[in-house]
Structure 1
Amino acid sequence: MSPLKLTTSALFAAGVLSLGGPAAAVSSFGLAVLPDTQFYSRYATPAEGDQFENRYGSDPYLAQTRWLAQHAQALGIPFVVHLGDVVDQQDKPAQWEVADGAMKVLEDAGVPYAILSGNHDVTVGCGYVGRQDDCTDAQRDLSKEPYLKWFPTTRAQQNATFGGRDPSGFHEYHVFEAQGQRFMVLALGWRVSDAGFAWARSVIKANPTVPVIVTTHDNLAIKSDARTALTTPYSELLWDRLIRDNDQIFMVLNGHNHGAAHLSSTNDFGHKVEQFVLDYQMAYQGGNGYMRVMEFDLGANRIKALSFSPWVPQKPQDTLNQFDVAVMTDENNEFSIEMDFAERFRGFNPAFTAGPDNREESLTETVRNLILADYEDVKPVDPVLPYDADDYLRAKDTLAHWRFVGTPGAPVADGGLVEDLTGRNPLKRVPLERGALLGDAVWSADHHALSAANGSVCFTENSNQGVRQSFFQTLDNVPLNDNMLRNGYTVEAIVKFSKDWTASRNQWMTVMSRFGVRGDLQGFLGGWKGSSTLQFAVSNLREFQWEPTVHVGGQAWVTCANENQNCTFPGTAQVRYGANGQYRYTTGEGSVSCSNATFGDPVSGVAKSCAYLAESLYNSKTNWSGEIMIDTWQHVAIVNDPVTHDTTMYVAGAPVLRNVQNADGVAGFAGKPWLVGGAAAAGSSANGFLGCINEVRISEGALSPDQWLTARKTRVTGTGGRQGITGTSGDDLIISNAAADTVTGGAGADTFVYRTMRDGIDTITDFVPGEDRLNLSGVLASIHYSGSDPVADGHVRVVDSASGAVVQVAASAGAFRTLVVLRGVSAARVAASSSFVF
């Protein structure tokens, strides 16, 4: 931790922070910005597992507002703006309660703020598509809008800065004072109607000398490079209807679109309007508490920005990882732009001046010191790269492990097989269909740096368009097809999204699925019945989606039709017909007509319905990651606890925010295949994966991170001279000395490394063929062997001896020297394919 422990009071005492006095050299003030808090509000509720409190003992929304309540006045931050999407689901009161509590902290501290509605905060949140007769404030029933109940005009009026709201209640303005000058914040909620625009213009007109900052939920977007701002149809509407001909508007802030970017535009007066988008919800932990301070340095004629998290330093030390960066320093989150304020405002406020100096260092620097006073970012641990293709940890209960390794550049054969390292569940490429070509799936040498599998399969044409689909499926009658993963599981996949990924063609592309649709499972209670029983997919926002069909209980009657309709159901089931506890029953297969003609009339004069008896009940539950970058290898692990059935997704080793509880199993249809790289049902296929897949492993039980594919075997190295070398009880990589050693691997799958002929002649006391390996790549390199099969080429052989199998290496054909003796093992058991790494 930093030896410097600074609080606001300490800063004052040390002279680092000053709001007046002869030493001051900066005239500035700050505007605090709270971007989308929707995930903070949602995942701090009991319904979503109170995930922040349970994992960290605190929550980010409260951390933000408490930090502002504690420091805003002393730091010279006179105002706070919220950019909308206060909650994630507007119909969930518990989420509004979280937001209510967080914003009340500001009210209790006397810190004024402006808040506005995002699309998640209103009952109908559709976006702008070139028309103003849908989804604006003018089309809403105001009496049914939760935002107006939780943040009514009466609440906004408690702020001393409050100027007024429009008749809909969705738009408001405030005027605050800083450095002897007045500034307006014009907060425009989702979406502005024609009347709303007229109201906004009238407010500006009524305050003709006041510089205006517009805040709104949607305005700029961000290009796929994650750095460059992009105008949108709605931003152009705002520009044309409000901004371009109102010279008082000099800044626009919005959230909604994920990331951070800046665009400088020129209005009709030839003056700059600085526009900023910031929304961190798709970052680690739903935003990790990130907010921003915008510093208006009136003396130096600059606007400075710093994005930071007051929550990260509060987290327990043992929860921190490389994603817990307290202060963001990239160019879109820490920057400074020029603005000559007096010149920029001269046209409407010729008397504008900077005001007296009030601090001796910039506000952004003081904020940085405060945040980092008791915190240091976690230094990333240098990963241990695989020594060879066998340098990964075996999971003792592995159900299937597929490594996609082939001849680089070659197409995957039609019907070509991918070995399952357990030997039980091989995959095959599905037959070419719907115009698919052989070259649409090719082998590549590209792979994740931490994967010991030295290759991948790359799908170059897959899309959601239903044509040219290439993927793999398990063979018929393999054991995995019947496994519903009811004993907990760990699913790992190492994948990379293509740089050509687009939402329009590749949203909901599939990493892995099971054959068949969940609506055909008798007793499925959820929605989207046409979806696969397992969706390990990628959303339109490039999030990993893990959505299995899960077991939720025993028998129940499932309503299937109203009177005179057809009741359909999977398989054979008992069906009842009636109302008010009076029923008649029959047994049907597939469907039954829900009518008096079929059942007779159990009760006259009332509307009746049918229901079938489901022997098992199912629903779906979903884990979501944050936004995943294209053209970047990612390791994702989904871990389901065998006792609680709570499921946690990890991306790049870090837990995501949106996890689920009590998700029992991955239901499917017994005997039906698993699919990798696509989804299929009833012979049709869709949503193939565009990109590369390195390896996939399914294990029973909950593996910890030190057991994942990205973990390495324990390094055991001799200390020199002839000695006994003993491994651990786990998987080891044992490097011998240049002497005759006696080596015992111990339990686990061990790799014994020999680098030169001088490393022999060893005796390995417990070599297990098929589980342990001999790595002879260094030895073969030392004798300048460059072939691919040293056994067939006469450079490696295994012969029997009284002590066991003897492994010998020849520098030239026939000149064999003994390298190692495998005690108690016959030569016949030492197969080249499973016992050596060349």
Structure 2
Amino acid sequence: MRKKSLLLLLFVSVLCFTLSAQQNDYTKPSLSDGDSWSLILLPDVQTYVKFDYNQPILDLMLAWVVNNMQVLNTKMVLCPGDLVEQNDLFNPNGRVVNQTSVSQWEAVSAAFGRLDGQLPYILAIGNHDYGIVNAENRHTHFDKYFPPNKNRLNQKMLREVGMNVEGRPTLANATYEFVSPHGRKFLILVLEFAPRDEALEWAKGVIEKEQYADHTVILLTHSYMDRNNKHIVHENYKIPGPNYGEAVWQKLVKPSKNIRMVFAGHIGVPDDPKGHTAFRVDENAGGKKVSQMVFNAQALGGGWHGNGGDGWLRILEFLPDGKTIKVKTFSPLFAISPTTQKYAWRTEAHDEFTFELD
């Protein structure tokens, strides 16, 4: 009996040591330089709200952002769209989606509401935010659930508003001005999914204004590059007059002198992190480097109808030298338990890297 007790005690000790070692291997997110600031980049969030049982993961992610905003000196949150799975679906089948579009929009609006008054968040819209199921037309409920006065911090930064296909003002085409703690002036330009020529012309006119000549422009849009780091040339959506990644590059980004970063989402391969990402650097007409990044996670955690993306997000640390940006990929979902904390960081070359603004 005594021998069994000793064996049991030894087993418990080894188990505790193992769990402790796993926990000690985990490093909480922090800045590499105390004078840096950060931007949080979210992936497409549609699968977190298309199933009601996935919603708590998105709530967890945004709660983590708020709880760590001081540690990371976070100044804003960006999301490249596909906020919902269907924009106007009345009859979910329970297998592909179990919430109506109204419930999906209400859920994602409430989730981001956690940031209201805490942090500005700038959202693009994706193909799933248009039409009925998937961009059959350019009608969207986005402006209803994310009006300009929803978050006073967003409204404070809002500078220019473009028009939708119906000729009405929309935050799907908009600009936001931000001055970093290091004094660098940024203009975040948001463009609708597969923007029309009219939207591109509006954007070009805005960023060429004299008042933005010394601003670093960040373009936030939905569909831009594929998993092979190539600009997307064509997709088979029914919306009229679309411009995909290659056309956006040729008509807007390359001719510009001040677009320096592009952030997008959209792509994914089930349970393949690399298939959700892309990165490339090209030179614009002003001879400046344009760093272009795609980040998504929606088909991780069980594929297209899984848990929504395992809670993955990206932390972009802007160092005080004014040019260096460190990218890290982190999951608050895995980080909440000592049992899973060892999985909370993705450190492959496509998930953890540094780039520079010249």
Above 0.5 in TM-score?
yes
Contact kept in structure 2, 1:114 and 1:172, CA below 8 Å: no
Alpha carbons of structure 1 residues 245 and 126: separation in structure 2 relative to 1, 3 Å: farther
Alpha carbons of structure 1 residues 151 and 63: separation in structure 2 relative to 1, 3 Å: same
> 1:162 is matched by which residue type in structure 2?
L
Contact kept in structure 2, 1:197 and 1:242, CA below 8 Å: yes
Structure 1: distance between partners of 2:217 and 2:151:
19
Structure 1: distance between partners of 2:36 and 2:348:
23
> 1:182 is matched by which residue type in structure 2?
K
Residue of structure 2 in register with 1:103 after alignment: 112
Structure 2: distance between partners of 1:325 and 1:305:
17
Offset at residue 298 of structure 1 (A): 4.2
| CA offsets 1:283-334 (integer angstroms, 9 cap, x no match) | 11321010001122242842210011112223595xx59xx82111111111
Structure 2: distance between partners of 1:165 and 1:34:
23
Secondary structure of the structure 1 residue equivalent to 2:62: helix
Tell me which of 192, 196, 201 is aligned to 2:195.
Answer: 192
Residue of structure 1 in register with 2:292 after alignment: 275
Offset at residue 205 of structure 1 (A): 2.2
Structure 1: distance between partners of 2:35 and 2:257:
24
Alpha carbons of structure 1 residues 300 and 204: separation in structure 2 relative to 1, 3 Å: closer
| CA offsets 1:11-45 (integer angstroms, 9 cap, x no match) | xxxxx879xxxxxx6653211101100101112x2
Alpha carbons of structure 1 residues 119 and 316: separation in structure 2 relative to 1, 3 Å: farther
Tell me which of 46, 49, 62 is aligned to 1:65.
Answer: 62
Residue of structure 2 in register with 1:181 after alignment: 184
Contact kept in structure 2, 1:27 and 1:299, CA below 8 Å: no
Residue of structure 1 in register with 2:257 after alignment: 247
Offset at residue 155 of structure 1 (A): 2.7
Matched, 1:287 2:296: no
Alpha carbons of structure 1 residues 5 and 192: separation in structure 2 relative to 1, 3 Å: closer
Offset at residue 171 of structure 1 (A): 1.3
| CA offsets 1:212-271 (integer angstroms, 9 cap, x no match) | 111111001113xxxxx1221111111112111112111101000111121111222332
Q: Percent identity?
A: 28
| CA offsets 1:47-72 (integer angstroms, 9 cap, x no match) | xxx2x47xxxxx22111111111222
Gaps of 5+ in 2: 1-19, 89-100, 165-169, 234-243, 269-275, 302-306
Alpha carbons of structure 1 residues 172 and 314: separation in structure 2 relative to 1, 3 Å: same
Gaps of 5+ in 1: 9-15, 19-24, 54-58, 128-134, 224-228, 345-838
Structure 1: distance between partners of 2:162 and 2:332:
34
> Residues 470-489 of structure 1 correspond to what in structure 2 (within 5 A)?
none
Matched, 1:215 2:220: yes
Alpha carbons of structure 1 residues 220 and 3: separation in structure 2 relative to 1, 3 Å: closer
Contact kept in structure 1, 2:78 and 2:122, CA below 8 Å: yes
Structure of greater relative contact order (alpha carbons < 8 Å, 6+ residues apart): 2
Tell me which of 150, 172, 184 is aligned to 1:155.
Answer: 150
Contact kept in structure 1, 2:312 and 2:331, CA below 8 Å: yes
Offset at residue 157 of structure 1 (A): 5.7
| CA offsets 1:403-427 (integer angstroms, 9 cap, x no match) | xxxxxxxxxxxxxxxxxxxxxxxxx
Structure 2: distance between partners of 1:246 and 1:157:
30
Residue of structure 2 in register with 1:82 after alignment: 79
Offset at residue 191 of structure 1 (A): 2.9
TM-score of the aligned structures, taking structure 1 as reference length: 0.33
Structure 2: distance between partners of 1:306 and 1:77:
14
The number of residues matched between the two structures is 293
Structure 1: distance between partners of 2:65 and 2:178:
16
Secondary structure of the structure 1 residue equivalent to 2:189: strand
Structure 1: distance between partners of 2:132 and 2:284:
32
Secondary structure of the structure 1 residue equivalent to 2:287: coil
Structure 2: distance between partners of 1:26 and 1:271:
28
Offset at residue 202 of structure 1 (A): 2.4
Residue of structure 2 in register with 1:257 after alignment: 267
Task: Compare CA radii of gyration and give the structure with the larger one.
Answer: 1
Structure 2: distance between partners of 1:5 and 1:294:
19
Residue of structure 1 in register with 2:321 after alignment: 299
| CA offsets 1:440-485 (integer angstroms, 9 cap, x no match) | xxxxxxxxxxxxxxxxxxxxxxxxxxxxxxxxxxxxxxxxxxxxxx
Q: What is the root-mean-square deviation of aligned Cα atoms in Å?
A: 2.7
Structure 2: distance between partners of 1:116 and 1:124:
18
Secondary structure of the structure 2 residue equivalent to 1:265: strand
Matched, 1:236 2:246: yes
Structure 2: distance between partners of 1:175 and 1:73:
21
> 1:220 is matched by which residue type in structure 2?
M
Structure 1: distance between partners of 2:347 and 2:126:
27
Contact kept in structure 2, 1:119 and 1:125, CA below 8 Å: no
> Residues 540-579 of structure 1 correspond to what in structure 2 (within 5 A)?
none
> 1:309 is matched by which residue type in structure 2?
S
Tell me which of 94, 116, 130 is aligned to 1:122.
Answer: 130
> 1:98 is matched by which residue type in structure 2?
A
TM-score of the aligned structures, taking structure 2 as reference length: 0.74
Structure 2: distance between partners of 1:212 and 1:292:
19
Structure 1: distance between partners of 2:225 and 2:31:
35
Structure 2: distance between partners of 1:147 and 1:275:
25
| CA offsets 1:648-698 (integer angstroms, 9 cap, x no match) | xxxxxxxxxxxxxxxxxxxxxxxxxxxxxxxxxxxxxxxxxxxxxxxxxxx
Residue of structure 1 in register with 2:102 after alignment: 93
> 1:334 is matched by which residue type in structure 2?
E
Structure 2: distance between partners of 1:219 and 1:125:
21
Contact kept in structure 2, 1:87 and 1:120, CA below 8 Å: yes
Alpha carbons of structure 1 residues 221 and 124: separation in structure 2 relative to 1, 3 Å: farther
Alpha carbons of structure 1 residues 182 and 300: separation in structure 2 relative to 1, 3 Å: closer
Contact kept in structure 2, 1:63 and 1:311, CA below 8 Å: yes
Secondary structure of the structure 2 residue equivalent to 1:196: helix
Secondary structure of the structure 2 residue equivalent to 1:35: coil
Contact kept in structure 1, 2:86 and 2:134, CA below 8 Å: no
> 1:276 is matched by which residue type in structure 2?
M
